[in-house]
Chains A and B, each alone.
Chain A
Amino acid sequence: MRKFLNGPWVLLMPTLIILTCVVLLPLLLSLWTSFTPFKLTKPDTLYRFVGFRNYERLIGDLDFWIAFGRTVLFLAIALNLELVFGLGIALLINKITYGQRTLRTLMMFPMMFSPILVGFQWKYIFNDNIGLMNNFLREFGVIQPIPWLVDGILANVSIMAAEIWSSTSVFAILLLAGLLGIPKDPIEAAKVDGCNSWQVFKNITLPFLMPFVFIAMTIRSLDVARAYDIVQMMTGGGPAKRTELLWTLISRTGYVDAKMGMANAMSYISIFLSIAFTFFFFYKLVEARQRLSYE
């Protein structure tokens, strides 16, 4: 006992206790509820164990798997486009010598808006009747209004546009930090050796940036669910489930239908999605670092 009290465990105890209370216990409780028919309005159902019934139902629930697939697609497209746009902005800002600070501040503006506000403003932009987009297009002769938030493809594109507008600056800031840290010597040496701009970017800048790319990807893949508010404001997952993502489905099941047990079962299945994305990006991050150290 004395050995234990004098050991490193004592120093770790405060952290372990806090992590247990704040992370582990809520996780275990939500895991337990996923094996119950827990309804928010019927607290007694928390103690009724039904085994894997919620999970069995989800396995056969086509709506859930369509939402799951759409979420994967949404993540893949949105994160990659955010990366491309963020990289482009970072490279452009890195080039300029005057007003860089001002531009960096301006670039962060979209991050300052709450996702709910972003959802409202983009819902207005894409409103078929009074929205800015259709009124703008009308000036160019597009008389028939485009149903941005109704058409299956356009509605998803609209939501993605809002999400990309809101979060591209996260990539830009992280990648700009990476660009500012790249040593100038290899770039100058390459230019002396006759490399053109594309060759410099592809063979020197990008490999140096890759660890930052994967750090940004990992961070964004973990907090991308903040886009729930944007989707909820713009379409609520509709119409006819055309923009239904796991987040809107889980939220409606848990808080509106009050079926928290089922919602938590959905969440635990979708956690595998987050773990898979995070694991992939971490793997790529380690790989990029190793490659950089070899070179």
Chain B
Amino acid sequence: MLRLFLSLILAVSFFGSFSAKAETELWGDYSGVTLRVKLIGGGQYEGLYNEVIPWWEENTGGKIEIVTQKNHFELDKEIKKDIASGNLDFCVASNHTSFASQYGDIYTDLNNIMPASVLADYTPLILEHSTVNGRLVQMPRHSDVSNLYYQKSLYEDADNKANFKAKYGYDLTPPETWDQVKDQAIFFSNPPDFYGTQYVGKEEAIAGRFYELVIANGGALFDEDYRPIFNSPAGVEALQWFIDLYNAKAVPDGVLNYLWDDTGLGFASGTIAMNLDWAGWAGFFNDPENSKVAGDIGLVRAPMGSGGLRTGWSGSHSFSMTESCPDKEAAASFLWALTSNKAQMIEARGGLSPTRPAIWDAIIAEKKAEGDEFMLMVFETFKMSLAEDAFTPPLIPEWIEFTNALYPELQAAILGDKSPEDALATASKKATEIMEDAGYF
């Protein structure tokens, strides 16, 4: 630890066209140290590694060996197998607030490793969400919450305005509630050429979307003892929203096989009017090379449910350090580098939401200076929704297993195989078994 603290220096970082607030840096001399790391892969994530790894190696003399680089669900499986085989021969791994609680105590409590001055640079609430059973097991990389993108021209069209008002009795403006989203989605739809909206339709993705709508409707998934309570009026109302859109053909027929790439690419194809999606897609949507809706995109905070709350299913991508890591000081330095001001600014420029307050200020200042009105709108909207609307899923090890029990029932109701009440009753029964087995009651 001594070497780490000796190497801890306070510095002011300058990069780009702005100056961020003083950042506690965590450099050291790690010549001869090689850190084995397992990282989340994919175009959206790998740009960071290309810049930060050489930067860290140059400044510390250490080496990074990437053992694995794959999508998060595959990485999750691999780490579970590593735990079972006791083969935790790596130091740093990508993690996520929704996944972290599954991994028991394989990851180090960073409260004991990271100096308080380093932790002070991160948003306190995000660090709280990164904590499992009182142990800070991950350093947050970027946060995710979803807001509603829409095609602006549809709302500016005089015929659309007049026809919508005549049909629904209120003005056509970007939606404030999920009921309005439903009305507008049905109004805009002209299948199979154009759809009002879409949703991710399987696995944890649809379970998460259902979860946030239940919350927005004033309900909850579990009570304080983790007994399922989503088979409620709020739950049925949430599920009915998905069903109504599917039955009205306001979403594509194949939506139940969609995951994040499908919805993102769908909106970029110009065939979707409104799309609830993450911040990371903003740059892609507004890039004329990738997107047919570039230059025609509006963004509003996620609408409200019947309970008066906005949807705000949120989580953070992160990095963790294994308890078995032989060189924790070097690993701590690398964790810091991966989530430093420099690293977060790189990702923020791509549209991702930083976990350091200083970077929010910096990126907004940079976009103002550049006159980039679109990205300015994106950052201001996401900053507000992360501050006011965001909530995590239950941070329990059973979250993924629970979503696997829930999502086939949601799909069955959407396809009309079951009524919403039957589907939620079955899901509730399965969830009760999972929670009982886990010893919650």
Minimum C-beta distance from B5 to chain A (A): 33
| Smallest Cβ-Cβ distance to A45: which chain B residue | B84
Stretch at the interface among A10-18, A191-199, A235-243: A235-243
Question: Which of A144, A145, A239, A252 is close to B257, meaning CB atoms less than 8 Å apart?
Answer: A239
Question: Which of A43, A129, A240, A260 is close to B252, meaning CB atoms less than 8 Å apart?
Answer: A129
Instruction: Please judge, given known A-B contacts A129-B254, A239-B257, A256-B404, whether A43 and B83 are in contact too, CB under 8 Å.
Output: yes
Check if A147 is an interface residue, CB within 8 A of chain B.
yes
Minimum C-beta distance from B41 to chain A (A): 15
CB <8 Å contact, A238 and B77: no
Question: Which of B80, B102, B203, B266 is close to A236, meaning CB atoms less than 8 Å apart?
Answer: B203
CB <8 Å contact, A129 and B81: no
DSSP majority for the A interface? loop
CB <8 Å contact, A255 and B254: no
Which residues does chain A contribute within 8 Å of B254, judged by CB atoms? 127-129, 147-150
A residues 242-274 with Cβ under 8 Å of B? 242, 252, 255-260
Check if A184 is an interface residue, CB within 8 A of chain B.
no
Query: Measured between alpha carbons, how far is A257 from B73 in the docked complex, in Å?
Result: 12
CB <8 Å contact, B102 and A241: no
CB <8 Å contact, B80 and A252: no
CB <8 Å contact, A40 and B80: yes
Question: Which of B81, B86, B253, B407 is close to A147, meaning CB atoms less than 8 Å apart?
Answer: B253
Minimum C-beta distance from B411 to chain A (A): 4
Which residues does chain A contribute within 8 Å of B417, judged by CB atoms? 240
Check if B342 is an interface residue, CB within 8 A of chain A.
no
Which residues does chain A contribute within 8 Å of B83, judged by CB atoms? 40-41, 43
Instruction: Please judge, given known A-B contacts A129-B192, A238-B202, whether A145 and B400 are in contact too, CB under 8 Å.
Output: no
Q: How many chain A residues touch B (Cβ–Cβ < 8 Å)? A: 30
Question: Which of B104, B256, B266, B401 is close to A238, meaning CB atoms less than 8 Å apart?
Answer: B256
CB <8 Å contact, B80 and A255: yes
DSSP majority for the B interface? helix
CB <8 Å contact, A240 and B192: no
CB <8 Å contact, A43 and B400: no
Check if B201 is an interface residue, CB within 8 A of chain A.
yes
Q: How many chain B residues touch A (Cβ–Cβ < 8 Å)? A: 37
Which residues does chain B contribute within 8 Å of A42, judged by CB atoms? 104
Which residues does chain A contribute within 8 Å of B76, judged by CB atoms? 256
CB <8 Å contact, A258 and B401: yes
Which residues does chain B contribute within 8 Å of A235, judged by CB atoms? 257
CB <8 Å contact, B397 and A41: yes
Query: Measured between alpha carbons, how far is A181 from B271 in the docked complex, in Å?
Result: 57
Minimum C-beta distance from A145 to chain B (A): 4
Query: Measured between alpha carbons, how far is A147 from B246 in the docked complex, in Å?
Result: 12
Which residues does chain A contribute within 8 Å of B408, judged by CB atoms? 238-241
CB <8 Å contact, B411 and A240: yes
Question: Which of A41, A127, A239, A260 is close to B201, meaning CB atoms less than 8 Å apart?
Answer: A239
Minimum C-beta distance from A36 to chain B (A): 12
| Smallest Cβ-Cβ distance to A259: which chain B residue | B401
Minimum C-beta distance from A279 to chain B (A): 32
Minimum C-beta distance from B260 to chain A (A): 14
| Smallest Cβ-Cβ distance to A145: which chain B residue | B192
Which residues does chain B contribute within 8 Å of A23, judged by CB atoms? none
Check if A143 is an interface residue, CB within 8 A of chain B.
yes
Check if B412 is an interface residue, CB within 8 A of chain A.
yes
Which residues does chain A contribute within 8 Å of B220, judged by CB atoms? none
Instruction: Please judge, given known A-B contacts A41-B80, A43-B84, whether A240 and B256 are in contact too, CB under 8 Å.
Output: yes
Query: Measured between alpha carbons, how far is A143 from B249 in the docked complex, in Å?
Result: 14
B residues 242-263 with Cβ under 8 Å of A? 252-254, 256-257
| Smallest Cβ-Cβ distance to A155: which chain B residue | B257
Query: Measured between alpha carbons, how far is A239 from B257 in the docked complex, in Å?
Result: 7
For B357-388 the 0/1 string (1 means CB < 8 A from A) is 00000000000000000000000000000000
**Most chain B beta carbons < 10 A, residue from A236, A239, A256:** A239
CB <8 Å contact, B84 and A260: yes
Check if B415 is an interface residue, CB within 8 A of chain A.
yes
CB <8 Å contact, A256 and B77: yes
B residues 399-425 with Cβ under 8 Å of A? 400-401, 404, 407-409, 411-412, 414-415, 417
| Smallest Cβ-Cβ distance to B433: which chain A residue | A57
Query: Measured between alpha carbons, how far is A37 from B439 in the docked complex, in Å?
Result: 13
Check if B103 is an interface residue, CB within 8 A of chain A.
yes
Question: Which of A128, A239, A257, A260 is close to B411, meaning CB atoms less than 8 Å apart?
Answer: A239
B residues 223-270 with Cβ under 8 Å of A? 252-254, 256-257, 266, 269
Query: Measured between alpha carbons, how far is A235 from B80 in the docked complex, in Å?
Result: 23
Query: Measured between alpha carbons, how far is A46 from B229 in the docked complex, in Å?
Result: 32
| Smallest Cβ-Cβ distance to A131: which chain B residue | B254
CB <8 Å contact, B253 and A150: yes
CB <8 Å contact, A40 and B202: no
Which residues does chain A contribute within 8 Å of B412, judged by CB atoms? 240-241
| Smallest Cβ-Cβ distance to B74: which chain A residue | A255
Query: Measured between alpha carbons, how far is A236 from B407 in the docked complex, in Å?
Result: 12
Minimum C-beta distance from B156 to chain A (A): 26
A residues 112-163 with Cβ under 8 Å of B? 127-130, 143-145, 147-150
Which residues does chain B contribute within 8 Å of A145, judged by CB atoms? 191-192, 252-253
B residues 206-224 with Cβ under 8 Å of A? none
Q: A144-B192, A256-B76 are in contact. List 11 more A-B contacts (CB 8 A).
A: A129-B192, A129-B271, A130-B269, A148-B254, A149-B257, A238-B407, A238-B408, A238-B411, A240-B417, A242-B415, A252-B404
- A-B pairs with beta carbons under 8 Å apart, 17 shown: A40-B83, A41-B84, A41-B397, A43-B86, A128-B252, A128-B253, A129-B192, A143-B192, A149-B257, A150-B257, A236-B203, A238-B256, A239-B408, A240-B256, A240-B411, A257-B404, A260-B84
Please provide the 9 A-B residue pairs with the shortest distance between their CB atoms, ordered closest to farther: A128-B254, A239-B256, A147-B253, A240-B411, A240-B412, A40-B80, A40-B84, A239-B411, A257-B401
